[in-house]
Amino acid sequence: MSEERRLGDALAAQEPMSPRLREKYDQEIKNMLEKRLNRIQKVMIWFSALMAAAMAGGFGWLAVTVTDLPTLARSTFAVGAAFALAWVGMMVRIRRKGTIHLIFDENAQGGWAYGVTLLVVISLLLLAGENPDATRSVFMVVSGLVFFLGGCLSLLLARIQQSEMRTREKMLEIEFRLAELTEAVVRQR
Amino acid sequence: MVGGVGKQLKDAQTIRNELLVLRCQQGESAAIQELIDTWERRLFYYLRRLLENEEEAWDALQEVWLKVMREIRGLRQAAALPTWLYRIARNTAISRLRVSSREAPVDEDQLESTDGQDDPGIQSVIDASMLHHALQKLSLPHREALTLHFLEDMKVDQIAEVIGAPPGTVKARLFYAKRALRQVLEQEGVAYV
């Protein structure tokens, strides 16, 4: 450790800390990832849950009562209803907790959005094959492919970025060991 | 040869900072905790030099970590972690002080008058406790500049980046801050090099 760093550490250690305030701060840091919902967020969550519940009801009703539809279409509605119910479950859980976990809940919502996109893509592609109207089939395939290609591109870019970060991390670890060795040798001299 | 290689390679602390930033950017929660554990003491010291009471400093520090978590993915130059952290801390403290964050107009006479003058000569201070005590007696701008200088061994351009002022202003400020510190230390009867 350099002299300057030692002075910095010694200087920082001069500041007294109240144990009561320190404890309060530690608790806040522990809870930091969990953000308390404000009034607007609570209203939005209830609104979102109600909309999803209505969609679940609508899709479920279509899946069960409209027997004229092909099996595939009804299955798609049923899966859509399940996704909508999953969203309702997420919103209710967050609302009851009163907080939103900045990483976990956001990842869960991201995963839900990804699943819905996948559902739409697969549904469009499969249903396009069953549609007797050629024009509509083509439109459905094109729409499905747009979503599919967009999703693939996002995934590819995310993978490339992650791979670059991992490579950079490995290189930095090697640089770090070299720097430590160099400093040790210089100190010995 | 080894000394030459040592100059070309980044120092271990800079690389450690870069690794930490990279791990935080990948969402590793242990890395975020390590970042907090590594920097909280120094950032708290800096915030206490800017804010009037301890409770405010703790609240400000918590705000700092919230901002850090939100913005760390956007940090492009991982090696600039220290200046980035202190800039966030400063902006947080300033918003609490409710004063303009714009720097006071530069006193051109002051800038010119530092040319050709020797550094006041605070090359090393005998101990951290005397330095800590002396810092309390300085004005806020002087206290801030010297805290960054001694706490993190920041150079003029780094301090300029933290406080958002031109390097010339920071150079003059450091000059007068060291002079004021020297005067305080002399009054306290402290020997210095």
Chain B residues within an 8 Å CB radius of A183? 6, 11-12
Q: How far apart are CA B43 and CA A179, in angstroms?
A: 26
pLDDT at B191: 53
Portion of chain A with pLDDT greater than 90, in percent: 18
pLDDT digits (tens, 9 = 90+) for B123-168: 555 588 889 999 999 999 999 999 999 999 899 999 999 999 999 9
Give residue B111's pLDDT: 45
Residue of A nearest to B14 (CA): A176
Q: How confident is the model at residue B190 (pLDDT cuts 50, 70, 90)?
A: low
Whether B50 shows a pLDDT value over 90: the answer reads yes
- Grouping H, G, I as helix, E, B as strand and the rest as coil, residue A162 is helix
pLDDT at A5 over 80: no
User: What is the predicted ipTM?
Assistant: 0.78
pLDDT at residue A70 tops 70:
yes
Which chain A residue shows the shortest CA-CA distance from B134? A11
Question: Considering CB atoms only, which of A4, A29, A102 is closest to B62?
Answer: A29
Q: Is A153 on the interface with B (CB under 8 A)?
A: no
Element spanning B190, H or E: none
Amino acid B89: pLDDT = 96
Closest CA to B150 of B42, B18, B7, B61: B42
What's residue A1's pLDDT?
A: 58
Chain B environment of A36 (Cβ under 8 Å): none
Mean pLDDT score across all residues of chain A: 82
Closest CA relative to residue A12, chosen from B158, B175, B80, B39: B39
Residue A177 has pLDDT above 90, yes or no: no
What is the pTM (predicted TM-score) of this model? 0.67
Out of A10, A25, A33, the one facing B128 most closely (by C-beta) is A10
- Of the candidates B5, B22, B66, the beta carbon closest to that of A172 is on B22
- Over range B2-30, report the average pLDDT: 74
Among A84, A81, A5, smallest CA distance to A52 is for A84
Structure tokens at A103: 């990483």
Bridge partner list, A100? A35
Q: How confident is the model at residue B41 (pLDDT cuts 50, 70, 90)?
A: very high
- Residue A101: which H helix or E strand, with range? strand A99-101
Distance from CA of A180 to the nearest CA of B (A): 6
Interface test with B, best of A33, A36, A176, A188 (most B CBs within 10 A): A176
The whole-angstrom distance between B108's CA and the closest CA on chain A is 31
A134 has a chain B CB within 8 A of its CB: no
A184–chain B Cβ distance below 8 A for any pair: no
pLDDT at residue A108 tops 80: no
* A positions 89-108 inside 8 Å of B (CB): 102-103
Q: Does A181 touch chain B (CB under 8 A)?
A: no
